[in-house]
Structures are given as C-alpha cells and as structure tokens.
Amino acid sequence: MLLCDDPFLSEFFSHWAYELARRHDFNTVKAYCSDVRVLIDFVLEVAYLLGGLTSQVLSDAFECFEDFLVFGVRSENDLVRTAAKSLGANPISGTSAARYITSANKFLDACERMRLGMLELKRIGYVSNEYISVFPQRITYSSNVSKSVALAIKDGSWMAGCISGGVRQIRFKGLIPKSKKSQIANADEFGGDEDAFPIDKLVKLIESASCSRDALIWSAGGAFGPRISELLTMLIEDVTPGEDGAEGVVLIIDPDTRKNILSKWLTSTQIDQASHKGRDSPAVYLIEPFASYFWFHFAQYRLEVIGFERNNPFALHSNFLFRTLRDYRPLVGSYQTIYERFREAAYKITGRYYGLHSLRHMYGYYLANFCPDPKRPGCFGLDLRTVQRLMGHKTLAATLRYARKDARMLEATVSAINAARMQSSGFGVEMVRMKHLENLRREIEEAMQERSA
C-alpha cells in the first residue's frame, strides 16, 4: 500500500501490487513495491524543485533516475544532487540499480495499459475531453459517466495525467539501465568488497555471535551460501549430521512442494510469503572451515530448542530449524530482524555495513576463485557451470553476478602466461592448439577409464 496525498495514485498502486501478488511471491512483490516508491518519491521531488510536473519534467526525471540511484549526492547533475540530499538517498550498485529500473518499468507498463483503457472509455463515450500531457491533468466527463469512473480519474492527480498521455507524448520506451555489474572482484586483503563479505573475517564474526542461533545462520551463509528465504523455511529434517566420519547432508526444499506439512504451523498467507526461487537440486555443497562451525552450532542450537520444548510443553512446537529467540516460534517472515542483527555485527568486525546476502556473494566468489578443483589437481576455482549448479541458479547469467573473478588472481594468471611465452621460443597459436588438444585427449581417456572401472 502506498500512503500519499493522491488517492488515485494510492488506489492505482494497490491494484498494481495486488496483480503482482497473483504472479509472484511475497518478497518479490515487496521489493517491486519498495523500488517503485523510490521512483515516485524522486519524480515528486523533481517536480517540486522545478515548480510542477510536466511531460518534460517527467522525461527529465526518468532520464536521470539511474544517476540518482547510483551516484546520489555525488552526482554531477545539480538537480539529482539536490533531490538526493532532500530524500536522504544512499548510492547503490549498478546491479541494484538495474533491479530498481526493472521494477519501475513494470509499474510504468501498468500505467500505459491504464492509459489505453482510458482511451477506450473515451471512445465509447465515458470520457469526453482530449488528453494532453501537461500536469496536473484536467479531465471532464460526459453526462453518462459512472461514479466509479469519475472517482478513478480524479481531477488534479499527477498519475492520472501520466497515464492519460504523458508517457505516450514523450515516447517513453522503458528505462534502460546503463550501469553493469563488473565481473571482476577488486577484493581487499581479507577477500571482501562492496558485495562479498570478507571471507577471512567470517570466522571472527561467527565467534562474536551472542547466541547459537545467529552463529548457526551465519555459519550456514558461509558454508553453502543460501538465500535468507531458503534458510528461514528449512526444517529440522533437512539437516542430517554425518556419522563415523561421514559428511553431513543439507537440503534446501521448495516450500511449495510441502505446503501440507508447513500448514501444521503456518497460515496460508505465511506459506505464500515463504518465497523460494527454485533449485535444480536440493543438495548443497558445504565449504570449510564454515562447514565445521555449522555442524558444531547446529548441535548446540538443537539442544537449546529441545530444552525449551521440554520445559514449555504447551508452547508451539514446530519442525522449523530456525526460531525466534523469545518463544521459539518459526522465523518465517522475520527477514528484517535477521538482517539487522547481522548488519550490526558485521559492522563491528569489518567497519562496513553488510547484509546477510553478502555471504551468498562470498560463497560464489570463493567457488570461482579459491575452491580446489577436483578435476584439476593443484588448481583453484571451479568452472561456471559447476558454480551454477552448487548455487542453485536457473541461469548462468545469475551465477555471473556472484562468481566474479578475483582481480589479483587474474593479474597473477596473466603474468604467468606472459612468463611462459617469453621462456618458450616456439610459442605460437599452433603450439597452443596442440597443447589444448593433448589436454582434451587426456581428459577423455581418464573419463573412459573411470567409466570402465
């Protein structure tokens, strides 16, 4: 729901959000709505600074929206700087800006569909005036217009003006993000950057946790890089500790596949809010040393939960792995609490604010650069397809946002290549091709031997 002085805009926003909710999960709708609120705030602020909203002002606002998102008060555009300072906006990354623009386009597409609907109302005689692109829009009605239509196309609404011709008049084709996420990670000496939590500081963060639940969540984030929505819907039976030296197993199950089980403890609304982007395989790959911390804190936390349930037989007992600290109820829908606790703890350790999702970025960064490759003894960094499978992404493009190459590793690789070329008098294209074919033949022979064995 959008709270504003324009009832038409508020109602339109609510209907748009409702239609989104019919096709997307709760967290996705929440993100879209939050992003569009930023767009609306920015447009209204620009209109205020320029003395009113016209089609040209609307066009200018759309044109510099990404500049506002990425640079904010550091923008070279005076208007953007002033608006960012007034709104208290913090700069975001290029990838996040692209998400905001996607959200804005969804909303503006809905506006355009509404405009076309208004044109149809005009054609059949409900609306009698010609549409113009000046804001606020003045609209008159024919005598047979219904009360609901009259209330919907309210006089003085800037959004009514937008959907009645403003966007069409400026030939709006959709905001196109210019910012692109770099596929190179310029990490510091601890292995962290603006997206990925410093991998060499995670153990210290886990050990600083004030409760075993937080230590378990943070260990899980480092060990197998789950999304927070996946963590909060995990059940106890999804985690099987290893016995007699065997490795334990962790599964991430789509909540949509077991609604009958979740309904024992959650309402239908809570289940719908338990978002899950889907994985090709429920199994995850745990990396050390965080895997050891995960299993240790799993055992500690389970003892706490069991002790609480024994001492409180009439309290709600559920099979959810992660619970609230006070009454051990399911944590589903409590993302903000988990986020804030991690954010504050991360700042004490690193001097920077990180969200829990930074651990997923860290996991992908580790797999792409520092994970020992079993297919290439002595080599580090898994191929992108393997990283994609381990992270549970449906597309390789999604994996590329996480599995970024370390800048220093690339520099070392290039230096080694150049050194090899300088040391070999016969180095050339044909020699490289021959070496590549020899390596390929060797890999095929080894694979055939494994099958026959």
Question: Rounded distance, CA 441 to CA 443, Å?
Answer: 5
Residue 184 backbone phi and psi in degrees, to 5: -115, 130
Residue 394 backbone phi and psi in degrees, to 5: -85, -25
Could you tell me which of 27, 42, 22 has the C-alpha nearest to residue 104? 42
List Cβ neighbours of 216 (8 Å cut-off, separation of 6 or more): 294, 297, 298, 300, 301, 322
Helix H or strand E encompassing 81: helix 78-87
323, 329 contact by CB (below 8 A) = yes
184, 404 contact by CB (below 8 A) = yes
Class of domain 184-369: mainly alpha
Could you tell me which of 59, 62, 37, 39 has the C-alpha nearest to residue 134? 59
284, 390 contact by CB (below 8 A) = yes
Question: What is the per-residue pLDDT for 115?
Answer: 64
354, 393 contact by CB (below 8 A) = no
Question: What is the per-residue pLDDT for 413?
Answer: 60
284, 252 contact by CB (below 8 A) = yes
pLDDT tens, 104-162?
A: 888 877 776 766 666 666 666 555 544 322 223 333 333 344 444 444 444 434 444 44
Half-sphere exposure of 361 (CA within 13 A, CB side): 22
Question: Rounded distance, CA 232 to CA 275, Å?
Answer: 10
Q: Residue 438 carries which side chain, given as an amino acid letter?
A: E
β-sheet bridge partners, residue 320? 235
pLDDT tens, 358-403?
A: 999 999 988 888 888 877 777 788 888 888 888 888 888 888 888 8
Question: What is the per-residue pLDDT for 452?
Answer: 75
Question: Rounded distance, CA 175 to CA 170, Å?
Answer: 13
Long-range contacts of 347-351 (CB under 8 A, 24+ apart): 348/208, 349/201, 349/204, 349/205, 349/208, 350/190, 350/192, 350/197, 350/198, 350/201
Question: What is the per-residue pLDDT for 303?
Answer: 93
Domain boundaries defined on the chain: 7-169, 184-369, 404-452
Per DSSP, the three-state class of 172 is: coil
Beta strands in 238-289 (DSSP E): 239-240, 249-250
| Neighbouring C-beta atoms of residue 397, cutoff 10 Å | 9
Question: What is the per-residue pLDDT for 261?
Answer: 86
Per DSSP, the three-state class of 251 is: strand
Question: Rounded distance, CA 273 to CA 259, Å?
Answer: 12
Instruction: Give pLDDT < 50 ranges for the chain.
Output: 129-173
Residue in this structure with the two tokens 């109302």, named with its chain if needed: 121
Residue in this structure with the two tokens 């403890």, named with its chain if needed: 265
